[in-house]
């Protein structure tokens, strides 16, 4: 269910608000169909979250269809015009480039990039936000990007983990865990994925698949005589849509008082 400004919204209101945008409609319908209430202070914050979730889906699909490769951190690669590759295999934004241009270059010159699945999810976050935020604001918020793993997240992304949550929405990040992974292939200990539409998930290296296919792939990389199958954890990782939406609204109000 969806509440905006303290009022529950109807399906007819959603159709009018979202027009013919099929992806946005599916995202909003998913929200509307769940028992928990998605609360928004105003219509613009609702618009922002739905638009951002749409771009998270599209960014995942674009990255999947690009030449962006899976590589372990020890072998990671990047376009050194925009990024400095660190000793641990991460990509640090160079000081003399614009953040939005560096992020967009990952798709533009995808052959020049390769890294692990956790980094790919963070890249999806940035690729989506650069499409829904003014570039000046994006560059201000994300002036010191370091693409590595979950330990190096920019605080303005507001990434948080919500445990015990079973109903994910398109654009959320989930994790398939492989508890009996073969120690010779630690890269198969699990898979970070972005929720897409129609029960599909995007994971870097594993591609776009349904849950059962991802679990089968992980199960092929277990120890001999495994005791437990890989499984989808009941936790959600997501960016702070409300905070980022408010930053955008405040920025626009400053420009147009």
Q: What is the dihedral of CA 64, 166, 118, 189, to 10 degrees?
A: -100
- How far apart (Å, rounded) are the C-alpha atoms in residues 139 and 130? 9
For residue 255, the model assigns a pLDDT of 82
For residue 167, the model assigns a pLDDT of 85
What average pLDDT does range 140-156 have in this prediction? 92
* Planar angle of CA 219, 221, 226, nearest 5 degrees: 65
Helix (H), strand (E) at residue 85: strand 83-85
Residue 142, pLDDT above cutoff 90: yes
What average pLDDT does range 108-124 have in this prediction? 96
228 HSE (CA, 13 A, CB side):
10
What average pLDDT does range 246-257 have in this prediction? 89
**Quick one: angle between helices 99-108 and 43-64, nearest 10?**
40
For residue 64, the model assigns a pLDDT of 97
For residue 144, the model assigns a pLDDT of 94
Tell me the per-residue pLDDT of 65-97, one tens digit each, with 9 for 90 and over: 999 999 999 999 999 999 999 999 999 999 999
80: burial class by Cβ within 10 Å (0-12, 13-18, 19+)?
Answer: exposed
Residue 257, pLDDT above cutoff 80: no
Structure tokens at 228: 């437990």
Tell me the per-residue pLDDT of 211-223, one tens digit each, with 9 for 90 and over: 999 999 999 999 9
Quick one: pLDDT band at residue 165, thresholds 50, 70, 90?
A: confident
For the chain, what is the mean pLDDT?
95
Residue 145, pLDDT above cutoff 90: yes
For residue 166, the model assigns a pLDDT of 78
């Amino acid at each position: 269910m969806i509440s905006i400004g303290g009022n529950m919204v109807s399906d007819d209101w959603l159709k009018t608000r979202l027009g013919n945008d099929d992806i946005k409609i599916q995202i909003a319908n998913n929200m509307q169909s769940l028992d928990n209430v998605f609360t928004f202070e105003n219509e613009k914050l609702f618009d922002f979250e739905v638009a951002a979730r749409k771009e998270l889906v599209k960014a995942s699909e674009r990255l999947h269809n690009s030449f962006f490769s899976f590589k372990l951190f020890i072998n990671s690669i990047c376009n050194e015009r925009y990024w400095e590759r660190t000793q641990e295999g991460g990509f640090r934004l160079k000081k003399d480039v614009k953040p939005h241009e560096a992020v967009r270059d990952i798709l533009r010159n995808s052959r020049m990039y390769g890294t692990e699945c956790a980094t790919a999810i963070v890249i999806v976050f940035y690729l989506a936000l650069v499409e829904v935020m003014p570039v000046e604001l994006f560059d201000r918020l994300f002036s010191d990007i370091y693409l590595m793993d979950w330990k190096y997240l920019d605080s303005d992304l507001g990434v948080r983990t919500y445990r015990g949550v079973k109903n994910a929405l398109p654009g959320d990040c989930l994790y398939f865990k492989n508890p009996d992974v073969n120690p010779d292939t630690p890269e198969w200990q699990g898979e970070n994925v972005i929720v897409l539409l129609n029960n599909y998930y995007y994971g870097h290296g594993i591609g776009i698949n349904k849950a059962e296919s991802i679990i089968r792939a992980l199960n092929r990389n277990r120890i001999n005589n495994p005791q437990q199958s890989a499984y989808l954890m009941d936790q959600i990782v997501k960016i702070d849509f409300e905070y980022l939406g408010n930053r955008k609204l405040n920025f626009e109000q400053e420009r147009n008082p």
